[in-house]
């Protein structure tokens, strides 16, 4: 099974990706992980990517595609894989298709975890984090025992910059501009499965499984 996960930041696609990877016994591959591994190992591709990352720039599409294709050649991908965070743009998707086509291979499906923007803003702005021990909470769904205080170490909880409504709105704008077109791209290829991501985590997973097995 070769799957691409789509969904806005905060839609919960990362959580579903991990569950699917366990279910199908396939690697859960994120571009962030690939970058970190290659940079740490000092590979030629990793060193190229590091130049852009160190300057706060986006890694060019051709280099991202090269890193991903290199990762897909590893033995653990023989039974399939799950791509999370790639492709992000139409050119990346086209480059991936072209590279797979050369091996007479293709993606099986793209799963869109669909959550309205207002739900995501509410969901993410309710998150609270402890900078001391790394524990995370949600003021509605996983509240700490004492408001504003970490259950684990007793330090103050904060609303991270990334989770503030104004930051989330900007991230969603970027998503809709760059990544949303991928939904139409895979729909035209008849490879899109869309699920309601507003339900609880287990219900979303069950609906994904039903769609995959239909």
From the list 2, 71, 88, 128, the catalytic residue is 88
In whole angstroms, give the CA distance from residue 66 to residue 95. 9
Instruction: Identify whether 171 is a catalytic site residue.
Output: yes
Q: Which helix (H) or strand (E) holds 66?
A: helix 61-72
Instruction: Identify whether 123 is a catalytic site residue.
Output: no
* Residue 197 CB partners (closer than 8 Å, separation 6+): 7, 11, 12, 13, 113, 114, 115, 204
Q: Burial, 51: exposed, middle or buried (Cβ in 10 Å; 0-12, 13-18, 19+)?
A: exposed
Instruction: Identify whether 13 is a catalytic site residue.
Output: yes
Instruction: Identify whether 19 is a catalytic site residue.
Output: no
From the list 19, 23, 36, 171, the catalytic residue is 171
From the list 2, 13, 71, 123, the catalytic residue is 13
Q: Do 214 and 205 touch, CB atoms closer than 8 A?
A: no
Sign of CA dihedral 44, 45, 48, 52: negative
From the list 19, 23, 50, 160, the catalytic residue is 160
Q: Do 45 and 63 touch, CB atoms closer than 8 A?
A: yes
Instruction: Identify whether 71 is a catalytic site residue.
Output: no
145: DSSP letter:
S
Helix (H, G, I), strand (E, B) or coil at 153: coil
In whole angstroms, give the CA distance from residue 80 to residue 27. 8
In whole angstroms, give the CA distance from residue 155 to residue 33. 29
Task: Identify which of 18, 16, 20 has the alpha carbon closest to the alpha carbon of residue 1.
Answer: 20
Residues with a known catalytic role: 13, 88, 127, 160, 171
């Amino acid at each position: 099974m070769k799957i691409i996960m789509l969904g806005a930041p905060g839609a919960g696609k990362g959580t579903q990706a991990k569950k699917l990877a366990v279910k199908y016994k396939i690697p859960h591959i994120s571009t962030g992980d690939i970058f970190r591994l290659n940079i740490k190992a000092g590979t030629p591709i990793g060193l190229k990517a590091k130049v852009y990352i160190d300057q706060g720039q986006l890694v060019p599409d051709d280099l991202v595609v090269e890193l991903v294709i290199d990762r897909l050649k590893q033995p653990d991908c023989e039974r399939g894989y799950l791509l999370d965070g790639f492709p992000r743009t139409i050119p990346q998707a086209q480059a991936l298709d072209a590279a797979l086509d050369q091996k007479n291979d293709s993606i099986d499906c793209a799963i869109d975890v669909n959550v309205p923007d207002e739900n995501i803003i509410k969901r993410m702005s309710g998150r609270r984090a402890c900078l001391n021990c790394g524990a995370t909470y949600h003021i509605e769904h996983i509240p700490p025992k004492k408001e504003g205080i970490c259950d684990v170490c007793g330090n103050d909880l904060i609303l991270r910059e990334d989770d503030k409504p104004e930051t989330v709105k900007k991230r969603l704008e970027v998503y809709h501009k760059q990544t949303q077109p991928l939904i139409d791209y895979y729909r035209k290829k008849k490879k899109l499965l869309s699920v309601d991501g507003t339900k609880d985590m287990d219900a979303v997973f069950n609906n994904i499984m039903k769609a995959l097995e239909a």
